Amino acid sequence: MTLEEIVTKSKRIVFFGGAGVSTESGIPDFRSEDGLYRQKYAVPPETILSASYFHAHPEQFFAFYRDKMLPLHAKPNAAHKKLAAWERAGKLLAVVTQNIDGLHQAAGSRCVFELHGSIHRNYCMRCGKFYPASFLAESSGVPVCTCGGIVKPDVVLYGEQLDSETVNGAVDAIAAADTLIVAGTSLTVYPAAGFLDYFRGDELVLINRDATPLDGACSLVIRQKVGETLAALPSFL
Ligand code: NAD
């Protein structure tokens, strides 16, 4: 079956995505040729983005975060927009994303499980006051609340737990799907990648430029760009 045939017959699609879903919006992923992990830093990005580094070296953490993790001018691409259209058309149950960029919501998706949090939510570690991403972008050094506490992004750093309500919602959606489309992810970040095991539906589709550990288990593997691939499909509106 083609992807168009699969999507046409599906009634409860769930989309599970990663950083590759946003590369066509100009945001680099982590593990591709031009990804963040191939760029040279004195300290590896995985280390900088860990909870222990954040607490030990907040200045350096925020310098990297502001420089690399706050793509506030990026716009949703054809993949984000088509998924939002499928949700409006009653075909798509949910988007489960490892991304923190908020582009699914910017495209109009409503049921989005952000496994690794969002750059758009930031909280004072002392009093809990909320700050938008623009506050971090415009701050310098370590961003500080009016009460003097550090303002921390609500993103899951390496070594931190995922939010249990978000995980439960994502797993329930995956378990209820008739078709699961996995795209733009190397499937190397756990526990997120392990949630795919809850899928019990008919069609498992993978759209990814590079090979992944899931390829052999899929009914369809597409080695194309996810935005271009979804752009070619109907909106069903
Ligand atoms: P990854 O970098 O490990 O893998 C990305 C995968 O996407 C690669 O296999 C690559 O071949 C593929 N890819 C890249 N562009 C593509 C395209 N246009 N079409 C199809 N495939 C494409 O990313 P990951 O698996 O999501 O894991 C890395 C972690 O990085 C995640 O936890 C996520 O939180 C974080 N991250 C998020 C963003 C973001 O929010 N946009 C950006 C970078 C990293």
CB 158 within 8 A of CB 49: yes
Q: What distances in angstroms separate CA 56 from CA 143, 169, 177, one per listed residue? A: 15, 33, 42
Angle at 86 between CA 108 and CA 182, to 5 degrees: 95
By alpha-carbon position, which residue is closest to atom 2 of ligand 1?
30
The reply to whether CATH 3.40.50.720 applies to domain 1-27+76-116+161-237 is: no
Question: Which pLDDT score is estimated for 40?
Answer: 76
20 lines ligand 1 (CB under 6 A): yes
Residue corresponding to tokens 């009016």? 146
Distance from C-alpha of 32 to C-alpha of 191, rounded to nearest angstrom? 21
Q: Is 73 exposed, middle or buried (0-12, 13-18, 19+ CB in 10 A)?
A: exposed
Q: Where are the domains of the chain?
A: 1-27+76-116+161-237, 28-70+120-155
- pTM equals 0.96
Question: Which pLDDT score is estimated for 12?
Answer: 98
Q: Which of 3, 21, 30, 48 to mutate to test the pocket of ligand 1 (most atoms within 8 A of CB)?
A: 30
Distance from C-alpha of 63 to C-alpha of 197, rounded to nearest angstrom? 37
Query: Which ligand 1 atom is at minimum distance from the Cα of 22?
Result: 41
Instruction: Provide the edge-to-edge strand list for the sheet that holds 130-131.
Output: 130-131, 117-124, 151-155
Mean pLDDT by 10 residues, the chain (237 residues): 97 98 95 81 90 98 95 98 98 98 98 98 98 97 98 98 98 98 96 97 97 96 98 97
Is residue 116 part of the annotated active site? The answer reads: yes
Side-chain-facing half-sphere of 110: CA atoms under 13 Å: 8
Question: Which pLDDT score is estimated for 48?
Answer: 95
196 lines ligand 1 (CB under 6 A): no
CATH of the structural domain 28-70+120-155, one choice from 1.10.150.20, 3.40.50.11900, 3.30.1600.10, 1.20.1530.20: 3.30.1600.10
Question: Which pLDDT score is estimated for 41?
Answer: 79
**Strands annotated E in the chain:** 13-17, 92-97, 112-114, 117-124, 130-131, 151-155, 179-183, 203-207, 220-222
